[in-house]
Structure 1
Amino acid sequence: MNIQRSFDPNNIFGTLYIVPTPIGNLEDITIRALNTLREVDFIAAEDTRNTKKLLNHFDINQSLISYHEHSNDQREQMLIEAMQNGKNVALVSDAGMPAVSDPGNPVIESAIKQSIPVVVLPGANAGLCALVASGLPTRHFYFYGFLPRKNKDKKEALQQLSQLTDTILLYESPYRVKDTLSELYNHFGNRSVVIGRELTKRFEEYVRGTLEEVIEWAKTGTIKGEFCIVIEGAKYKGESENNWWQDLSVSLHVQHYIDQEKLPSKEAIKKVALDRKLQKRDVYQAYHINNQ
């Protein structure tokens, strides 16, 4: 068991401060965050060049060290040893809360294992901004972050997410957002969705509608900046909202997966059987025999 008294004056170690930074509008940084960045012994930053711009804006002269997702164990150990020797360290990412779809979690885990206090400051978070602005239910929500890059892993993740009854939060880059919206439609059906981009910045924009409508918007809309995608949950547990296929014949349903997801017929038949809760042999017969 680990009990942390964050501000115990008898603590012999330094402290790891987790400091959120603005996601766009520099005025969103807190006074406490600025004071912490000034007072620590040094700052561990995802990208020292980006953090330097932030520090210069607020006239903060502080030592910086690089710490990102590709940092090796030696860099992490250096941070831990510094705090064991009484140094205070601030961890920042390029924008928002460190360790939430950003680097930071490994060094936080290590600090906790070594009984080094971890103090998290409140601050900007893109996902929560988008959730509240979406108008979708906020009582319960599921934050996923960025979907996997590999096609197979991405489809598995979307299949699992499609079953959730809670509002779902995703992050996506402008380079993949169109494909992701199409995949969402394939797995979720035509649910309500809200996408937010350039949050807190001058060109902040929210697009609210059904997945069909937002996919259509994406053909001509501005696809710039990082995107937050907020998706309506399933109506009830176990219901994946894949009712987009209800007007299709079994044969056309199979063909959809072959054409759109590039599945072999065997896998497409298996997926249709799962969607429709049918026996695979019945789907096979409808596609290969009745369709002749």
Structure 2
Amino acid sequence: MKNATFPARLPSAHHPGGRLFVVGTPIGNLEDITLRALNTLKTADLIACEDTRRTQKLLNHYNIRTRTVSYHEHNEMTRAPELVLEMEQGSSIALVSDAGTPVLSDPGFRLVHLAIRHKIQVVPVPGPSAMVAALAVAALPMNEFIFTGFFPAKRSARRKALGALAGFEKTIVFYEAPHRIVECLRDVHEILGERELVIAREVTKLHEQFLRGSITELLAFLKKTPARGELTVIVGPGAAPEAGGGDGASLREEIERLKASEGLDERAALKSIARGRGISRSEAYRQLQLEKSTEKEPS
């Protein structure tokens, strides 16, 4: 590629002196930290923390005395330029979140972006991730997957985000809060259809737990046993749609599942299924009557 050209906005040289280290820290078990991460935290001039109190517990455990400063979603607009200025003056700064890897569903993007714009070297120091840990033991296909972080808390926005994934038939991974998990899974079931599911709870912590089953089965379980702690949800691949539409299950089967898992009557269940399949309620009713008449025909 002799004639290849590169954009001028991608410089080959970094700002001398200062560097930004993006450091992965434990997500529960304090022993899940690399020697490189510990050395980086010890030798940095400053550690930018999502919550200085939580990070201080980790630092105390490993007898690290590096100065800390807060960096979170509520102060990043003003704090990011301040930290960049320090790095331009030669300081090395380690960026950490409360748990796991910064930027991945955690604060940090603005600082990383600004540092790169100012030609400051940004160095990844890999560490734990609840998403990766959960995927490793989910036993669901992971050669292709999409990670969505947290879906919007507002139901209409969440359903819109899920609707954009309706045609994605690979594994989907997201985080969810325990008080929203049932409502979220109802939307997942309606929009994406029945799928295999793994819910990883409190990964690497004392009460680590993995729940496995269909969406319907785990919805029924969570209604009786409310979830606690941080949740990583892995939704298995969807089945390729059949020529007649739907996810392969009959309307009667879908109705019975919804009646059992969510306590809906037949009318409400049919309305929910119609919305999930993208058809009118009258069309769903027509298909249901056709199924019933077919079942009555002698073989």
The TM-score, its normalising length taken from structure 2, stands at 0.80
**Cross-structure match for 2:189:** 185
Residue 106 (1) aligns with residue 110 (2): yes
1:246 and 2:237 matched: no
In structure 2, the residue matched to 1:49 is 53
Aligned-residue offset at 1:73: 2.3
Contact 1:15–1:83, Cα closer than 8 Å, also in 2: yes
Give 2:174's match in structure 1, choosing from 161, 170, 177.
170
Deviation of residue 203 (structure 1)?
1.4
1:77 matched to which residue of 2? 81
Distance in 2 of aligned mates of 1:220 and 1:254: 24
2:284 is the counterpart of 1:275: no
CA distance in 2, matches of 1:125, 1:211: 24
TM-score scaled by structure 1?
Answer: 0.82
Q: Is the partner of 2:164 in helix, strand or coil?
A: helix
Runs in 1 of length 4+ with deviation above 6 angstroms?
Answer: 237-240
Q: How does 1:58-207 map to 2 (within 5 A)?
A: 58-207=62-211
Residue in structure 2 matched with residue 212 of structure 1 by the alignment: 216
Counterpart-to-counterpart distance in 1, 2:101 and 2:248: 37
Instruction: State the partner residue of 1:36.
Output: 40
List per-residue Cα deviations over 1:146-168 (Å, max 9, x = no partner).
Answer: 00011211010111223212210
CA-based RMSD: 2.9
3-state SS of paired residue (2:159):
helix
Give the equivalent residue in structure 2 for 1:236.
240
Cα contact 1:164–1:237 (8 A) shared by 2:
no
Q: 1:263 — aligned with what?
A: none
| Partner SS, residue 48 of structure 2 | strand
How many pairs align?
A: 268
User: Which residue matches 1:221?
Assistant: 225
Identity %: 37
CA distance in 1, matches of 2:167, 2:117: 35
**C-alpha distance in 1 between matches for 2:35 and 2:80:** 28
Is the CA contact (8 Å cut-off) linking 1:242 and 1:275 kept in structure 2?
A: no
Tell me the amino acid that sits aligned with residue 27 of structure 1.
Answer: E
Alignment match of 2:19 (pick from 12, 15, 18): 15
| 5+ long unaligned stretches in structure 1 | 261-267, 287-292
SS state of the match for residue 118, structure 1? strand
